């Protein structure tokens, strides 16, 4: 397993997120990636490399996954935020107003708070001084990991934060800004693969990834996650979402009740991998969240550490070249072991 690590991840260090009416310390913290890196080094699970710097090829794939107006907003947002008031440089930006049904989202407001709301869907995702640098560093990791797969590698890992699967073509949320899994999938297609599957095993439904590919038949999206009727992101992730237009039949959601353990989840994985196998893809992207862990502070599945070895083995079984992309997982003490177990299971 070759790992591409995003050294710029530390530039994104949010302070507070809105939770039950108060601002609480962020769950999505820099030590997450550092702990995973330390465990991979400790186990010597293969080489660890820096990702491609931002260059023309990264910009062009970003423009295929995200809208231009969104990318421009993200790149300039911090500068606009601190121009509003000098004290703003001490605190992160959070949205406070949104465009909902019946309101305009085609007009780009000049007001910064209004644009924050236009391009987001929750109040739990602070935008910070280093968000753009960290997020494009992660996209660079995804690009490099996909390129290495095209060069013949069997498995690669984009180790980055902030995560990506809740970010859509023109919105952030769920701690995510740039959709790294979508970047990896698009790079594989642009590099000559005819079809690519994305398997999302984070606890939370990958609403952003689903939305990006919902009308496309060259990318199948399959996801196992907490039932959106009770679990974040709530408004997407039901089993009856099967794709639209050309994409009909290429979206497969497998929601499971909160409290599900690995026995139940493993059966859903078999079903998801069967769909993917039937799609006959040339490559696989795995949105790897380990917030399925029993001790995760914000999630509700009951995985044990050893279950992650079985996850990696079962994914390896379908025999596809695979890019793993880091998503969620907030039990800091175990995050390194849980991620390393998936990769080790895949490699054995």
Q: Is 9 labeled as catalytic in the residue annotation?
A: no
> Closer to ligand Q9C at the Cβ: 170 or 327?
327
Q: Exactly one of 39, 200, 202, 296 binds ligand Q9C (CB under 6 A); which one?
A: 202
Q: Which two tokens stand for residue 192?
A: 């000559």
Using CA atoms, how far apart are residues 220 and 202, in angstroms rounded to an integer? 17
Which among 197, 215, 225, 219 is positioned nearest to 320, based on CA atoms?
197
Instruction: Give the CA count within 13 Å in the CB-facing half-sphere of 214.
Output: 17
Cα–Cα distance measured from residue 62 to residue 93, given in angstroms and rounded to the nearest whole number: 23
The region of 172-180, 185-193, 241-249, 333-341 touching ligand Q9C under the rule CB under 6 A is 172-180
Q: Which is nearer to Zn ion, 117 or 329 (CB)?
A: 329
Is there binding between residue 296 and ligand Q9C (CB under 6 A)?
no
CB of 234 to ligand Q9C, least distance (A): 10
Task: Kindly identify the residues of this chain, within the stretch 208-247, that bind ligand Q9C according to CB under 6 A.
Answer: 232
126 binds ligand Q9C (CB under 6 A): no
The distance of closest approach from Cβ of residue 177 to ligand Q9C in the complex, given in angstroms and rounded to an integer, is: 11
**Rounded Cα distance, 145 and 325, in Å:** 9
Could you tell me which stretch among 133-141, 169-177, 238-246, 264-272 binds ligand Q9C (CB under 6 A)? 169-177
φ and ψ at residue 100, rounded to 5 degrees: -110, -170
Q: Residues 292, 286: contact at Cβ < 8 Å?
A: no
Give the whole-angstrom CA distance, residue 153 versus residue 147: 9
Q: Are 311 and 344 in contact (CB under 8 A)?
A: no
Pick the stretch among 37-45, 87-95, 171-179, 307-315 that binds ligand Q9C (CB under 6 A): 171-179
| Residue entry with tokens 């030590």 | 31
* Structure token digits, residue 209: 């990834």
Out of 66, 166, 204, 205, pick the active-site residue: 166
Among residues 204, 225, 252, 302, the one that binds ligand Q9C under rule CB under 6 A: 204
Binding site for ligand Q9C (CB under 6 A): 17, 19, 124, 163, 166, 174-176, 202, 204, 232, 289, 291, 298, 327-328
Catalytic residues: 166
């Amino acid at each position: 397993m070759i790992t591409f690590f995003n050294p710029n991840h530390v530039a994104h260090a949010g302070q507070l997120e809105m939770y039950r009416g108060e601002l609480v310390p962020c769950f999505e913290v820099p030590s997450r990636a550092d702990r995973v890196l330390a465990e991979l080094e400790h186990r010597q699970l293969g080489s660890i490399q820096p990702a491609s710097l931002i260059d023309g090829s990264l910009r062009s794939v970003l423009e295929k996954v995200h809208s231009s107006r969104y990318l421009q907003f993200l790149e300039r947002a911090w500068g606009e935020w601190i121009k509003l008031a000098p004290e703003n440089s001490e605190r992160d930006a959070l949205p406070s107003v949104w465009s909902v049904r019946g309101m305009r989202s085609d007009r780009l407001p000049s007001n910064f708070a209004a644009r924050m709301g236009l391009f987001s869907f929750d109040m739990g995702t602070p935008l910070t001084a280093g968000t753009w640098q960290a997020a494009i560093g992660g996209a660079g990791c995804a690009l490099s990991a996909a390129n290495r797969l095209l060069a013949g590698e069997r498995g690669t890992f984009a180790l980055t934060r902030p995560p990506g699967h809740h970010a859509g073509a023109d919105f952030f949320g769920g701690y995510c800004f740039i959709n790294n899994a979508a970047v990896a999938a698009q790079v594989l297609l642009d590099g000559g693969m005819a079809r690519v599957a994305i398997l999302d095993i984070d606890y939370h439904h990958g609403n952003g990834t689903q939305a990006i590919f919902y009308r496309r038949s060259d990318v199948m999206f399959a996801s196992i996650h907490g039932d959106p009727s009770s679990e974040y992101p709530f408004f997407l992730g039901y089993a009856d979402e099967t794709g639209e237009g050309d994409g009909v039949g290429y979206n497969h959601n497998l929601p499971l009740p909160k409290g599900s353990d690995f026995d139940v989840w493993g059966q859903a994985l078999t079903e998801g991998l069967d769909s993917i196998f039937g799609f006959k893809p040339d490559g696989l992207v795995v949105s790897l969240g380990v917030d399925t862990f029993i001790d995760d502070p914000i999630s509700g599945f009951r995985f044990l550490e050893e279950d992650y070895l079985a996850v990696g083995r079962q994914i390896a079984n379908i025999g596809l070249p695979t890019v793993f992309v880091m998503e969620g997982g907030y039990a800091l003490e175990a995050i390194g072991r849980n991620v390393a177990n998936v990769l080790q299971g895949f490699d054995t």
